[in-house]
Amino acid sequence: MGDLTFGARTAKALTKRGPLCVGIDPHSQLLRTWGLDDDVKGAERFCMTIVDALAGEVAFIKPQSAFFERFGSAGIGLLERVISESRHAGAQILLDVKRGDIGSTMQAYAQAYLDPASPLAVDAVTASPYLGVGSLQPMFDLASAHRRGVFVLALTSNAEGGQVQKAVRKDGRTVAQSVIDEVAAANADAEPMGSLGVVVGATISACRGDDAARSRQMTHGITHTARSGESAHDLDALNGPILVPGMGTQGGKPADLRRVLGRAATWAIPSYSRDIARHGPSAGGLRQAAKQAMEACAEAVGR
Distance CA 47, CA 39 (A): 12
3-state secondary structure of 126: strand
CA distances from 92 to 8, 27, 278 (A): 12, 22, 22
Distance CA 116, CA 131 (A): 26
41 is catalytic: no
3-state secondary structure of 148: coil
List beta partners, residue 197: 151
Sign of CA dihedral 133, 162, 209, 126: positive
Write the DSSP assignment of 168-197 as a string of letters. BPTTS-BHHHHHHHHHHHHHTT-SS--SEE
Q: Which one is catalytic: 12, 41, 98, 291?
A: 98
- Would you name the residues annotated as active-site residues? 98
